[in-house]
Every structure is written in C-alpha cells, then in structure tokens.
C-alpha cells in the first residue's frame, strides 16, 4: 500500500504543521497517525490515549483514580508504539518512573 503524501501535514488536534524545507511532498511523519478523525501528531496521540482511558472511569472515580488511569494508558500507549525503546526512555517521555514502565510491560506481556 502506498502511503499518502502532502506538501504540508497539519495535526487535527493541536494544529501544529509540518512540511519539508524544499517544499516537496512528503509522507505522514513517522510519529504521526492518520485515522478517520484526521491526522494527529505524537503529542495529540498521547493525549487521546489518556482521554480515552479516563472516559472508561466509573462516575464515582476520584481525581487520583482518573490520573492513574491516564498515566497507565499513556505508558501502555508508548510501550505499544515503540516496544524497542528502553524503560528509561519511555519513563522520561511519560514523566513517570522506570518501575512503572517495567510493570506495564509485564502486565502487557511485552518484551
């Protein structure tokens, strides 16, 4: 399947745009994703993963429980997105600890 190209890609979430300096068409950036709702940059993809998890929270869930759901979803998103990355680099990207990432990998059965 041929990947679509464009002169400029604009994130449907935050509006950030990316293009080539030589004004040539380019494929969607590697860290971006295109879906039915539009094209999303990595930052918005992370945010959408967290929001989707929070939406599954019971109505009586407190702020702390929602924050834990969001953090877990973000870590799991990063492990699925880049399983070859170290626990340390994923922890840094998610602003969490290495043991949290390691636990997520074990829970997910990821390498």
60 shares a domain with 24 = no
26 shares a domain with 53 = no
78 shares a domain with 34 = no
In b/e form, how buried is each residue of 32-41, taking b as 16+ CB within 10 angstroms? bbeeeeebbb
In the prediction, which pLDDT does 105 show? 95
Residue spans of alpha helices (H) in 1-111: 42-55, 63-81, 87-94, 98-108
32 shares a domain with 58 = no
The count of structural domains within the chain is 2
52 shares a domain with 33 = no
30 shares a domain with 55 = no
61 shares a domain with 104 = yes
Q: Domain containing 13: what range?
A: 5-40
47 shares a domain with 23 = no
83 shares a domain with 55 = yes
Residues of the chain with pLDDT under 50: none
25 shares a domain with 70 = no
71 shares a domain with 55 = yes
Q: Which of 72, 69, 105 is nearest to 87 (CA)?
A: 105
74 shares a domain with 100 = yes
In the prediction, which pLDDT does 15 show? 96
In the prediction, which pLDDT does 4 show? 81
In the prediction, which pLDDT does 57 show? 93
In the prediction, which pLDDT does 2 show? 54
């Amino acid at each position: 399947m041929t990947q679509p190209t464009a002169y400029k890609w604009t994130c449907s979430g935050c509006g950030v745009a990316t293009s080539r300096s030589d004004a040539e068409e380019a494929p969607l950036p590697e860290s971006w994703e295109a879906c039915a709702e539009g094209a999303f940059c990595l930052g918005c993809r992370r945010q959408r993963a967290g929001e989707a998890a929070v939406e599954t929270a019971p109505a009586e869930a407190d702020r702390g429980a929602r924050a834990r759901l969001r953090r877990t979803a973000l870590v799991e998103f990063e492990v699925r997105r880049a399983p070859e990355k170290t626990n340390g680099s994923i922890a840094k990207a998610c602003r969490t600890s290495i043991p949290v990432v390691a636990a997520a990998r074990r829970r997910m059965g990821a390498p």
